[in-house]
Amino acid sequence: AVTAAPWLTLMQQTAPAAKLCAIIHAGRGRYNWAFFDADDLYWRPTADDHAGGTGEDLIAALHAVEAPAIWLTGESDPAVAAAVAPLSHVTLLDPVSSWRRAGQLARLAALHFAAGTEDDLAALQPLYLRNP
């Protein structure tokens, strides 16, 4: 059995108490992100659930989400921190949330194995293979 844990899902697991936006760097000043509900531990975003774009696109996405509070977690940087500072409904979590820790990945994988989640290797699509 194979279980693939997407990196954005791993980022979400670092703070599962609010509507979350997990972000990762996509290179060339771009980001990938996905939104997660706090109570949906086993939700697995598909390629269509991921969004990508510039920092401005990310800020527009944060404005568009109807949620009283959003926690931004993952691979933030000074540009993202400055851009979200005026957004009163967005909290940028501590940079430690961006660490890709083996223990976090192992915990998430164990939960999916216990739930019987399996992935088709042929259907997996790394985000870095998508066009910007």
Query: Where along the chain do its domains lie?
Result: 7-124
Residue 115 phi, psi dihedral angles, 5° rounding:
-85, -5
Backbone CA torsion sign across 98, 1, 42, 52: positive
> pTM of the prediction?
0.64
pLDDT digit string (tens) for the chain, length 132 residues: 555 666 556 655 554 457 889 898 888 889 999 998 877 767 778 888 889 999 999 999 999 988 888 989 888 888 999 999 999 999 998 765 555 666 666 777 777 778 888 877 777 777 666 655
Domain 7-124 has CATH 3.30.420.40: yes
Quick: pLDDT tens for 78-110. Answer: 899 999 999 999 999 876 555 566 666 677 777
- Of 89, 97, 83, 79, the residue nearest 16 (C-alpha): 97
Cα separation, 52 vs 9, in Å, equals 15
What pLDDT is stored for residue 100 in this prediction? 60
